[in-house]
Amino acid sequence: MVNPALIVSVFVVASCGLAYELIMAALASYLLGDSILQFSSIIGVYMFAMGIGAHLTRYIHDRDALSRFIDIEILVGIVGGISALLLFVLFGFSAAPFRSVLYGLVLIIGIITGMELPLVMRVLNLREVEFKEVVSRVLTFDYLGALAVSLLFPLILAPKLGMARSALLFGILNTIVALLTARLFKKDLRRYRHLCLRGNIVLLILLLFFCYANQITNKAEEHYFGDPVVYSTASPYQRLVITKWHNDTRLFINGNLQFSSVDEARYHEALVLPAMEQNPRAANILILGGGDGLAAREVLKYSQVKQVTLVDLDASMTKVFRTSAQLRELNQNSLNHPKMRIINADAAQWLEHNQQKFDVIIIDFPDPANFSLGKLYSVPMYRMVARHLNPHGNIVVQSTSPYFAPNAFWCIVTTLEAAGLKTLPYHVYVPSFGEWGYVMASQEGEFLIPDDYRVSTRYLDANSTREMFNFPKDMQRRAVEANHLNTQKLVEYFEADWRAVMR
């Protein structure tokens, strides 16, 4: 009969092994960007390393299989447990070697994890359990453990504990498995006391790190971002960090600056006001993205507006900008305004299942740095957006930098046109970003360049508005392809443009 304790160990071990893989891949996508590449490469290297680990078990003698399994659980507990914390600290203080250390840890943890199941199967086989029963039970609980963690990690652990504490939790579980296995098979172990001593030391270290993980990651983030971190969280979709230094509040998503309160008025006035001025009777407004409420703040300046619908995927984003007194002051409490309707959903799915039409649609998504964001800038997406536009309505899209990422910017223009819309591109200088671009679009193409605004502004006036619609020679239109779902040319252009800037 298969020992139930070892089968439970298999379940926990499988959960921990997949958890380290997911945590490494999520960290890489948060800190390095390009989530598909990071997940693919991390998983590939991890599986390769597991194969090496499985092969190495052939050199372990049968009589040592049990003690080596316990050794490995203690080792993977400490290495896997502190891996995310180590990477956070490394990225915060010295980002240069981050990628090398990341893949080094993936290899080490993968090799150690790959040794676990072969050793468990050998331990069971040595106890005269029938081989077919060993294989079926071990693999069944291995797959069940993988299923459990694949659901728990994105839905509960990452949002509640964050990456560093999640890794430490699984390290603690690995170490507990080692200690319980040692206790259950005490008579079969020659080094029982030595194994227990090491296991308890590792467990104590992991518990201490678990208690202080948030303080350590906050210090690392403050060093990386340069200003004190006042809020940080890892949602199922992204990592949000808010910093504050004197009168400068900044939002970072996955390490990328989204706004600085010093000059965000330039960005948001340019995004919203020219589009709102096109239709003096615009009453029903849709904002896609913009969970910080800053675009909504500009929309709500117009008294004729009856309702603003804001669709943002991440409830963590809208929650903090609705509840924090400091952030509510920044967005003038726009997200709690009675005219606001907030929906936390995927924008594309919401549009697909909703028939409502709008006078102005404001699209304020993050830059198309990966394929999941790139789809939101595609021809099918813009066609779907256009179907929700009232006659004489218009769309405006934040469109990255026409100076630093010209191919990406003009790809967005080309994509809107491929979706059957007429376009009017423009740009504004935002000191914290540099030159930034937008595209206004409509079915008719009858655009008015405002020479005055019906609402108060901090930046825009007749002169600055005229400058926005003139493109100098080094930002003129490029011949680029439209962004389709099956090609995702925009992501390719975006990455190439920014690589050229950063090299």
Give me the active site residues, please.
364
Q: Is 292 annotated as a binding residue?
A: yes
β-strands 256-260, 248-253 pairing: antiparallel
Residue 17: burial class (beta carbons within 10 Å; 0-12, 13-18, 19+):
buried
Q: Is 312 annotated as a binding residue?
A: yes
Q: What token pair was written down for 398?
A: 């934040």
Q: Give the Cα separation of 401 and 436 in Å (integer).
A: 4
Residues 6+ apart with CB under 8 A from 78: 171, 175, 202, 205, 206
Q: Which of the 8 DSSP states describes residue 226?
A: S
Q: What token pair was written down for 320?
A: 């903090």
Q: Is 268 annotated as a binding residue?
A: yes
CB 138 within 8 A of CB 120: yes
Residue with structure tokens 């239709």?
279
Q: Give the Cα separation of 233 and 315 in Å (integer).
A: 12
Q: Give the Cα separation of 143 and 478 in Å (integer).
A: 50
Q: Is 188 annotated as a binding residue?
A: no
* Angle in degrees, CA 299, 432, 402, rounded to 5: 80
CB 377 within 8 A of CB 405: no
Q: What token pair was written down for 279?
A: 């239709």
Reduced to 3 states (helix: H, G, I; strand: E, B; else coil), residue 451 is coil
Q: 354-377: buried (b, 16+ CB within 10 Å) or exposed (e) per residue? A: eeeebbbbbbbbbbbbbeebbbbb
CB 288 within 8 A of CB 314: no
Give the strand order in the sheet containing 256-260.
Answer: 229-234, 239-245, 248-253, 256-260
Q: Which residues are annotated as a binding site for spermidine?
A: 268, 292
